Amino acid sequence: MQPVCLITGASAGIGKALARVFAKHGHALVLTARREAQLSALADEIAATGHARPQVMTADLGAPEGPARLAEALRTAGLDPSIVVNNAGFGLLGEAADLDRNQQLAMIDLNIRALTELSLRWIESITRYRGGILNVASIAGFLPGPGMAVYHATKAYVVSFTEALHEELKADGVRVCALCPGPVATEFFDRAGLPHDYFPAFLNRSAQRVAREGYEGFMAGHRLVVPGKPNRVMTMLPRLLPRALMLAMTDRRRKRANRRS
């Protein structure tokens, strides 16, 4: 079996940037997402830079059988994940009572269930290779989120789960890290229905910077990586301010956006 780094949600945004960074550092990659054309174009781009061409495997990880089908495809190809990068996920803007219930449940399936399954499925091989798990969370995981209630809740789960797994596996030499970016101008905004000025500009970071800092922190064995000092401050506010005040602050942002629209 060949050890590989598996990156989910690699067809765009942070996942695409992470693929470039991992390839630059010599990792053998498997890229997965639903869109084969975008994955193949990225694999060709990486190969054109002189690095090994990543293998491409399409998968719908939000489907109940999606992770198992991906695992079987990897096994059949003789590939054994030593690093798993869980980047696949999405958000939705709007009040929970107004958004489509099935879409919100699908968000939980992808952001939580699939991430958990893929984090645990290859623990044996990850430990054997002394590899790791990089879970892409968000500063949303530290804050209550009126207007994106389910999304914030899913990312709070990712942060909590990843921190606990980091503690459980560190004695085995396994790196487990939560990458918690602030706003990043990617397709995420369009799918979520977010105006591109929804968040303060000083929180914005590029996908390339997020990927670079995420890779460096992960390889250094950090438990959490929050790119950008302003975003790190945001993650500390809930420890310093009353929760009711944090709710009011985030709700004001939602109401301002509603007035603009």
Record the tokens describing residue 206, joined without a space: 């590029």
Instruction: Measure the CA–CA gap between 132 and 103, rounded to whole angstroms.
Output: 30
Among residues 236, 116, 110, 107, the alpha carbon closest in space to that of 176 is found at: 116
Q: Which of 129, 151, 157, 198 is catalytic?
A: 151
Task: Go through the chain and tell me how many residues it has.
Answer: 261
Cβ atoms within 10 Å of 44's Cβ, excluding its own: 12
Question: What sections of the chain are H helices per DSSP?
Answer: 13-24, 36-48, 66-76, 101-108, 115-121, 123-128, 149-169, 187-192, 207-219, 229-240, 243-260
Instruction: Measure the CA–CA gap between 138 and 87, rounded to whole angstroms.
Output: 11
Active-site annotation holds for 157? no
Instruction: Measure the CA–CA gap between 99 and 142, rounded to whole angstroms.
Output: 22
Instruction: Measure the CA–CA gap between 63 and 60, rounded to whole angstroms.
Output: 6
Instruction: Measure the CA–CA gap between 152 and 49, rounded to whole angstroms.
Output: 37
Q: Which amino acids are annotated catalytic?
A: 151
